[in-house]
């Protein structure tokens, strides 16, 4: 779904005085719940287009019977948020396949010197072209972090990733991470990206280090994100210590002993959930997991096209909805997704979930859920606001 600023779609800039009604399947102004069969009435003046009212289409026709109606497709909303990306993998070829095989491809890509600031710049350009300005990006390279903190095209959170599976390395890695984050945080600018922290996964960061990193993030009020419960292999690794992921880790010299509990419960037991992290993927969860997440206000970022490409399973949207867990959307990397346009992930989720996913819930997740995942205040488009604060999903 192409996203364009609402004034471009309604063509109001050269129309002089008058009113127009932008109609869409779902309309959201950031307040309350999105409306189905919604409308945004826009007041036009020379060079000005401002919001008069957000309502149902029936109300708009009744109140403004002479206003011209412009069909805007699926939705009108504040700009969407891509809450999970890996911009430094933008030059990686789309590599579908089992999750464990994909991880090997990522490692090979990085060892080839292709993961870094050059790729991130291409990713920023692609996101800007898609109309995305707010992101959550996982960063593995200092030069990339410095670039993201200095650019003006995007805002959001740049999460510094930590990969350290050996317990004996915990003290040294923790000390280095604290120093590195302090240096990055000194580069933050008002209106720019914030620095966050991302322990990679529960099985690639040792238990003692995971606990210390989470406690540090909470104390410093750092945004925290972690990939968890992504694949069936991860669940098998935790419960039984077997399977393709267990074998892959053992071959790499990072043997991981079964925890005997599900990955989300493992994070809870280590005290990581108490820090209120954003969890990425969260495909393989049960009711007990969801109760733990809602208790701490954690947000889960859904990456449907990546999940499908890596054979991770079907996202349990109904389970999360039942317990009131907040959900956001992300594209993941270009290695597991064909592009960085998060509206395509919303469309994929609607297609996969069918009647289980109401379009209003999907739209809310793409906007408000994304801001909440990044610890940011969601926008609210009120009467008198510029119509340019809204976008139309064609």
C-beta of residue 315 within 8 angstroms of C-beta of residue 302: yes
**Virtual CA dihedral for 272, 276, 278, 279, nearest 10 degrees?**
40
| Backbone region of residue 251 per phi and psi (left: phi > 0; alpha: psi in -120 to 50; beta: other values) | alpha
Q: Distances in Å between the alpha carbon of 298 and those of 25, 42, 94, 283, 322?
A: 29, 36, 30, 14, 15
Annotation marks residue 230 as catalytic? yes
As a whole number of angstroms, the distance between CA 254 and CA 107 comes to: 15
* Helices and strands in the chain, H and E counts: 16, 15
DSSP 52: E
In Å, how far from its chain's centre is CA 361? 15
Residues in Cβ contact with 181 at an 8 Å cutoff, skipping those fewer than 6 apart: 160, 195, 197, 220, 222
Structure tokens at 147: 């670039």
DSSP labels, 218-234: HHHT--BEEEES-SHHH
Structure tokens at 29: 């102004």
Structure tokens at 195: 């620095």
As a whole number of angstroms, the distance between CA 162 and CA 159 comes to: 9
Structure tokens at 149: 């903190």
Active-site residue, selected from the candidate residues 126, 161, 230, 234: 230
C-beta of residue 35 within 8 angstroms of C-beta of residue 23: no
- Residue count (the chain): 394
Give the pairing type, strands 326-329 and 299-302: parallel
C-beta of residue 129 within 8 angstroms of C-beta of residue 155: no
Annotated active-site positions, please? 230
């Amino acid at each position: 779904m192409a996203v364009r600023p609402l004034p471009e779609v309604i063509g109001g800039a050269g129309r002089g005085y008058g009113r127009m009604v932008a109609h869409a399947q779902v309309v959201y102004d950031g307040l309350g719940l999105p409306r189905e069969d919604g409308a945004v009435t826009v007041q036009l003046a020379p060079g000005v287009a401002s919001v008069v009212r957000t309502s149902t289409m029936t109300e708009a026709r009744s109140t403004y019977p002479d206003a011209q109606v412009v069909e805007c497709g699926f939705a009108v909303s504040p700009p969407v948020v891509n809450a999970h990306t890996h911009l430094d993998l933008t030059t990686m070829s789309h590599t579908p396949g089992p999750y464990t095989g994909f991880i090997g491809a990522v490692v090979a890509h990085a060892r080839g010197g292709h993961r870094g600031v050059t790729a991130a710049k291409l990713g920023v350009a692609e996101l800007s072209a898609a109309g995305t300005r707010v992101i959550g990006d996982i960063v593995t390279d200092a030069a990339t972090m410095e670039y993201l903190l200095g650019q003006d095209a995007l805002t959001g959170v740049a999460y510094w990733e930590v990969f350290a599976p050996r317990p004996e390395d915990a003290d040294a890695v923790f000390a280095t991470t604290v120093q590195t984050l302090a240096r990055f945080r000194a580069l933050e600018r008002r209106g720019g990206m914030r620095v966050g922290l991302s322990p990679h996964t529960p099985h690639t960061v040792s238990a003692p280090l995971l606990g210390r990193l989470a406690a540090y993030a909470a104390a410093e009020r750092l945004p925290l994100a972690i990939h968890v419960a992504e694949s069936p292999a991860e669940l098998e690794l935790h419960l039984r210590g077997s399977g393709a992921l267990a074998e892959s880790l053992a071959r790499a010299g990072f043997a991981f002993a079964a925890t005997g509990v599900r990955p989300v419960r493992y994070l809870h037991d280590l005290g990581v959930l108490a820090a209120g992290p954003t969890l990425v993927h969260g495909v393989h969860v049960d009711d007990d997991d969801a109760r733990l997440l809602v208790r701490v206000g954690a947000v889960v970022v859904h990456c449907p096209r990546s999940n499908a490409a890596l054979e991770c399973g079907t996202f349990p949207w109904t389970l999360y909805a039942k317990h009131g867990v907040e959900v956001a959307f992300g594209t993941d990397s270009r290695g597991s997704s064909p592009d960085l346009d998060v509206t395509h992930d919303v469309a994929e989720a609607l297609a996969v979930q069918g009647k289980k996913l109401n379009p209003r819930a999907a739209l809310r997740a793409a906007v408000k859920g994304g801001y909440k995942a990044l610890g940011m205040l969601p926008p609210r488009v009120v009467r008198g606001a510029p119509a340019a604060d809204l976008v139309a999903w064609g």
